[in-house]
Structure 1
Amino acid sequence: MDAKPDASPAPAGDDDLPAREAAYENFIWSNLRRNYLGNYLHGMLGMTGFRLVNAPTFLPAYLFAISGSNAIVGLGLALQQVGGVISPIFGATKIEHRKRVMPAAMWMGGLARMAILGIALAGWFLPNEPVSLSFLGEWLVRPRVAAILGFMLMFGIFMGAQRVVFSLLMAKVIPISRRGRLQAWRNATGGLIAAVLAYFAGRYFIDANLFGNGYSTTFVFAFVLTSLGLWALQLLLKEPEPPTTRAQSRFRDRLRDFPALLRQDRSYGFFVLMQMLATSARIATPFYIIFVGSIIGLDGKTLGLLSLAFLGADTVSNLVWGYLGDKTGFRLVLLLSLVTWIGATVLLMSVHDIAAMFVAFCGLGAAQSGYMMAAQTMILEFGDRDELPMRIAVSATAESITATAGPLIGGVVAELAGYHVVFGVSLGFLAIALLLLIVAVKEPRTARLQAF
C-alpha cells in the first residue's frame, strides 16, 4: 500500500512477460484501497436498487395487479431473461481484447438503469385500459403492460452485458483472497438499505399510492440508487492494463469455441450444467408472492413485510457466505445455498400462516444471496485469465437460456395446474443440481493450488 494510488504498471519489453505480470500484480495491491472502495460503493448502491427490481415481490406483484394474469407475469420474467441470452457473449467479444473496459461498463450499466426508469415512467404516464390495435388483428393491448414488458426485455439485455464487464473489472482489481468479504459487506449494507426501503415502499409508497403510483415511486428510488453506484465506480476505480489479452475475434468464431472451452475443464463444464439446473428452478420465483396472496391475501403491509424478510435475510447471510467463501472456497457456499433453497420452498408449500411464510421468505432470500455470490465468484477462478470474459459470458448465457423458458412455462403451469405443481418442478431441478454439485464439481481454488 506504499505506492501512490494513481500508480500504473511499469513498462516492460514485450519479451519480458514475468516483469509485466509483476507490474500488474503491484498495481492491483497499490490501488487496492481505492478500488475496493469503488467496488464497495458501486455494489452497495447498485445492489440496493437492483434488488428492489429483481426481488420476487414488487415487479411480479405489479405486473399481476395491472394485468390480472399469471401468464403475463411469467412472460415479463421470461423477456427479462431472454435479453440476457446473447448479450453476455456480445459483451465479452467487445471487451476481451481491450486493455481497459471501464468505458464499456459505463455504457452498458447506464442503459440498464434507463430501463428501470422506463418502467417507472410507464406506470405514471401510460394508460392501463385496453386499446385495439387493428394491425394485430384487433387485439386488445394494455399500453402500460406492453411498455413495461418492453423495458424488462431492455433491462435483461443490458444486465446480461454488464454482468460480464463488471465481473471482469472486479477480477482485474480485487485479489481472490478479498473478493468474498468485499461482496459480503457491499451486499450486506446494500441489502440492509433495500430491506428497510422495501418495507417502507410497501407500507407507505404502495398502500398510499404515493405520487399517483406507489410502484413507480419505488422504481424511481431504484433508478437513483443504482445510478449513484455507477457514478461512484467511475469516480474511484483505477483499472490496470493486463499483461496479456486475447486477439479480437468475430462473434461467430467465438461461438465455435464454446465446446472446447467446456472440454478444457470437466469440472467447469459440470458447473455450467449445474447453473442451468439451478436457474431452471427459478420457474417458481415470480409466483412465491402471488401464492401468498392466494392463501392469506396481499396488501401493502404484507408485501412490505415479506420483502423485508427476503431482503433482510439476504443482507445478514451475505456476511456469512462471503467470509465462508474466502476461507473454504465457494463450492461449500453453493451447496449450502441450494439446501436452504429446497428447505424454504418446502416450508412455503406446507405451512400457511404469516409467521411460517416470513421464515420461508427469509430462507429464500438467504439462498438466493448465497447462490448468486458463489456462482459469480467461482466462475472467476476456473481456467486462465485471457479466457475469463468468455467464461463469464458462457455461464451468463447458459443461465439465461433456462431462466427464459422457466417463468413463461411456470405462468402457464400455474394457470392450468396450480402453484404446488410449479413449486414441485422447481424442487426437482434443485435436487438434481445439488446432486451434480456434490459428485461432479470440484472446488476450483483447491484444484488450482494442487496444480502448482
Structure 2
Amino acid sequence: MDNEIRKHFRFNFWVNLLDGGFFGFAFGFASLSTVLPLYIATMSDSALLVGLVPAIHTVGWQLPQLFTAQKVRALNRFKPWVLFMTVHERIPFLFLSLIAWFSPLLGKNTALWLSFLALTWQGLGGGFTANAWQNMIGKIIPPEYRATFFGLQSAAANLLGSAGAAIAGLILERLMFPGNFALCFLLASIMMGLSFFFISLTREPPHTIEAPIQDSKTFWSEVRSILRQDKSFTWFLVGRIIFQFSMMAFAFYIVYAVQERGLGKFEAGIMTSVLFVTQVIANPLLGWLADRWKRQPVLELGALAVVLSALLAWLAPSLTWFYFVMILTGIANTVFWAIGLAITLEFGPEDQRPTYVGLANTLIAPAAALSPLVGGWLADQFGYLATFAASAFLGFGALIVLHFFVRSPERERQASVSATSG
C-alpha cells in the first residue's frame, strides 16, 4: 500500500495542488473578506448579517464532519464520495451570479434571502465533502510532507486568489451594480469547474477497512471515549475553539476601513490581494517549518498574529497600517488552516482518523457560528473597535492554552523518546 501511494505521490501532489489553486482563484472573485460582505452590504446595513457570511461558510464546512465520520470510515476509497459531494460547494456560485443579476427585479429582501440560501448550500456542500477529502489527502500524501502540501496548496490558492481579488476590485469599481457582482460570481463558478477537473484526476488506490463500526451507538461511545481519554487532543480542541473566537474581527477589517475610514473599493481589492499574497508566502514557509522543525511553535505563532492584527486595527493611526493588519491576518489564517489540518491528521490511530477529523471540526463549528455573530453584535452595539479589542483578548487566551496545555502528537513522541532513552 505504501509503495502504491508513493508511486503516485508526485502526480497526486500536483493535481491536488492545481485543484486548490483554482479553488482559491474562485474565492478571489467571491472573497469572504471583501466581495461577499460588500455584496451583502448593498442589501442590508446590518453588521450582523455581514458577519454571517464567513460564519455560514466556516460552520457549513465544519459542522457535518463528525456526522459523516462513520460513513467515511466504511469507505475503501474516499475519492468517489469527494467528487459527488464537492459539486455542491461549487454550483452555488452560479446561482449567486443569477441572484445578483436579477436582484433589482427580485427586490432587496428576496435577493438577500436567496443569497444566504445559496451561501448555506455552498457551505454545507463543503462540509459533507471535507472529512473524506482530508482523509483522502492524509492517505495519498506521506506524513512527512503533509504540512508542506497543505502549505503549498494554500499558497497556490492564495496566489491565484490574489489575482482574482485584484480583478474583482476592478470589476466592482468600473462596472455598475448588479452586473459587477454578477460577473464576479460567474467567474468564481468557472474557476470552480476547473478545480473540479483537477481533483477528479486524483489516483487513489483502495485500502483495507479494519473492522468498520456498524451501529451508531458504538460509534458515539467511541467518540465519548476519545474525548475522555485523549487529553492532549481534548486540549487541542479547546485551544482551537478559543482561536476560532479570536478571529471574530477578521470579517470586519475591510468593512470598517471602507465605511468608517474612507477606503475606496479598488483599494479594498488591493488590500485583499495583500492578504492573499501574504498567505502565498506564509503557507509554504510555515508548512515547511512545521514539517522540518516543530509544529507546536508555529501553531502558537498564529495565535500571536491574531493578537497583533486586532491591536493594530484597533490603534491604527492611518489606513496604511491596515496593510500590516492584512499581513498578520494572513499569517493567522495560514496557521489555523494549514498547520491545524496537518496536526489534526496526526492524532489517534489511522483507522480512527475520520472520527478525529470529525471531532476536530464539528466541535469547532459552534465557535465558528457564534464568533462572527458576537463580533457583529459588538460592532452594532459598541462599534468595530470593541470587536477588535475582544479579538485581541481572546487571541491571547488561545496563545496561553496552546503553549501551556496542548501536547501535540509531536510533543508526545519526543517525550516518549526521551523517557525511553533515559
TM-score normalised by length of structure 1: 0.86
For the pair 1:70 / 2:47, whether they are aligned, the reply is yes
Percent of paired sites with the same residue:
23
Return the letter of the residue paired with 2:287: G
In the alignment, the residues of structure 2 paired with residue 334 and residue 52 of structure 1 have an alpha-carbon distance, to the nearest angstrom, of: 29
2:307 to 319, 332, 342: 342
Task: Name the structure 1 match of 2:8.
Answer: 31
Equivalent of residue 370 in structure 1, options 335, 351, 354: 335
Per the alignment, residue 132 of structure 2 pairs with 165
Shift of 1:450: 5.4
Whichever residue aligns with residue 28 of structure 1, its letter is I
Aligned CA distance change for structure 1 residues 352 and 219 (closer, same or farther; 3 Å): farther
What's the CA shift for 1:390?
A: 1.3
1:349, 1:252 → 2: CA distance?
48
Q: Which residue of 2 aligns with 1:105?
A: 82
Deviations 1:281-308, CA, capped at 9 Å, x for gaps: 2322221111112332243212111111
Q: How does 1:6-405 map to 2 (within 5 A)?
A: 24-50=1-27, 52-53=29-30, 55-84=32-61, 86-127=63-104, 130=107, 142-203=109-170, 205-209=171-175, 212-235=178-201, 237-251=202-216, 253-405=218-370
Deviations 1:26-64 (A, max 9, x none): 111111122112221112222332355454222112211
Q: Residues 256 and 62 (structure 1 numbering): CA distance in 2 closer, same or farther, change over 3 Å?
A: farther
Distance 1:113 1:253, change over 3 A: farther
Worse-superposed segment, 436-445 or 186-195:
186-195
> Which of 1 and 2 has greater Rg?
1
**Mapped contact 1:77–1:152 kept (Cα < 8 A):** no
Is structure 2 residue 396 aligned with structure 1 residue 431?
A: yes
The 1:220–1:147 alpha-carbon spacing in structure 2 relative to 1, beyond 3 Å, is: same
Using the TM superposition, name which of 441-450 and 294-303 deviates more. Answer: 441-450
Specify the code of the residue in structure 1 equivalent to 2:197. Answer: W
Cα distance in structure 2, aligned partners of 1:282 and 1:441: 19
Q: Distance in 2 between matches of 1:179 and 1:303?
A: 33
Taking a change above 3 Å as real, the CA distance of residues 449 and 34 of structure 1, as seen in their structure-2 partners, is farther
Contact 2:22 2:192 in 1 (8 A): yes
Q: What residue identity is the alignment partner of 2:14?
A: L
Q: Distance in 2 between matches of 1:177 and 1:142?
A: 50
**Distance (Å, rounded) in 1 between the aligned partners of 2:6 and 2:243:** 35
> Is the CA contact 2:150–2:338 (under 8 Å) kept in the aligned structure 1?
yes
Q: Deviations over 1:174-208 (max 9, x none)?
A: 011112222233222331221122112102x1012
CA contact (8 A) 1:340 1:367 kept: yes
Shift in CA distance, 245/64, structure 1 to aligned 2, threshold 3 Å:
farther
Q: Counterparts of 1:129 and 1:30 in 2: how far apart (Å)?
A: 54
C-alpha distance in 1 between matches for 2:118 and 2:214: 30
Asked if the contact 1:96–1:389 (Cα under 8 Å) also holds between the matched residues in 2, the reply is: yes
1:324 Cα deviation from its structure 2 partner: 0.4
* Matched positions, count: 417
2:246 counterpart letter in structure 1: A
| SS of the residue 1:354 aligns to | coil
**1:368: how far off?**
0.8
Runs (5+) with no aligned partner, structure 1: 1-23, 131-140
Q: 1:448 and 1:97 mapped to 2: Cα distance?
A: 29
Q: How far, CA to CA, are the matches of 2:334 and 2:136 in structure 1?
A: 20
1:207 is paired with a residue of what secondary structure?
helix
Q: Is the 8 A contact 1:128 1:143 kept in 2?
A: no
CA distance in 1, matches of 2:229, 2:284: 33
